[in-house]
Amino acid sequence: MLIVELIKALLVVFGIIGPAIIAVYMLLFVCIRRCPLCGAKMKVHYKGKYIDGYKCQECKHFEVKEIRKK
């Protein structure tokens, strides 16, 4: 019975920690713009005083965003 209780406790702990780790990873993915094709960091591309989009340095993928720079 001790092994069953230990397995239940481990399932509860990893059931809570696993989604938290995935959420932190997704938050980092959103905060640090990465290319959806190759995963490399994307640089900001400006057009005047506005952010025009993001450009990948590895595969030259360009993602258009209309975001105003403050």
> 69 with 51: CB under 8 angstroms?
yes
Per-residue pLDDT of the chain (70 residues; tens, 9 = 90+): 788 898 888 888 888 888 888 888 777 766 777 777 887 788 887 777 777 788 888 888 887 776 555 5
Q: Residue 69 has what pLDDT? A: 55
Residue spans per domain, the chain: 2-68
pLDDT at 42: 82
